Amino acid sequence: MRIRMLMSFLSAFLICAICVACSRQDDAEKVRLLIAKGASLAEAHDLSGLLQLASKDVRASPRDLDRRGIKKVLWQTFNYYGQLKVLYPRPVVEMKDEAHEASAQFPFLIVRKEQTLSDLEGLRSDPIAWIEKIGETADLYRLRLLLTKQDGTWFVNRAYLERFNGTGFE
């Protein structure tokens, strides 16, 4: 009887563990989809769409910008590049256990739309090779995002932008 109860408990525990693991993977994929949507909105110069992906109290560093400051910097970026492409490898996403929080980190590159960079798409799943391929010929940045889940939807809460100096991010 005890063995049967123990087996029932272990079975239920394993099912719950598998469900939690799947849920975390689903949330990580949702974060990656949010990043992809953000890249598409940037390419379309959609400032309001980009800001809808952010929490109301979003902040961006290194200049500690609020929503208004972020909008201004994005507008300046869009005007500087004109039609653009946002290129990046698959983001590394880390889910926080207790809270509805996540972090994502990835290098990215903004280029004018007509500029071609061969072979980057094939390196999306290998961030190190991606950086090595592009780092010598273009301005490269790393973006670190802290995200929060509110009512089942992920929002960017903090963004940290860092320029690649050619030898590594420090």
Residue ranges and CATH numbers for the domains of the chain are 2-163 (3.10.450.50)
The CA distance from 55 to 124, in Å, is 28
Q: Is 127 within 8 Å of 109 (Cβ atoms)? A: no
Query: Is it the case that residue 166 has pLDDT exceeding 60?
Result: no
Higher pLDDT, 37 or 169: 37
DSSP secondary structure letters along 87-155? E--PPEEEE-SSSSEEEEEEEEEEEETT---TT-GGGTT-HHHHHHHHTTTS-EEEEEEEEEEETTEEE
| Average predicted confidence (pLDDT) for the chain | 81
The Cα–Cα gap between 127 and 142 comes to: 11
**Is 26 strand, coil or helix?**
helix
Of all residues in the chain, the percent with pLDDT exceeding 70 is: 74
Asked whether the predicted pLDDT for residue 110 surpasses 80, the reply is yes
The letter for the amino acid at 42 is A
Whether the full predicted model's pTM is greater than 0.85, yes or no, is no
Binned at pLDDT 50, 70 and 90, residue 40 comes out as: very high
Total number of residues shown for the chain: 170
Q: Which helix (H) or strand (E) holds 46?
A: none
Q: Measured between alpha carbons, how far is 134 from 118 in angstroms, rounded to an integer?
A: 10
pLDDT at 6 over 60: no
Predicted local distance difference test score (pLDDT) of residue 126: 82
CA distance 73 to 108: 17
Q: Are 89 and 106 in contact (CB under 8 A)?
A: yes
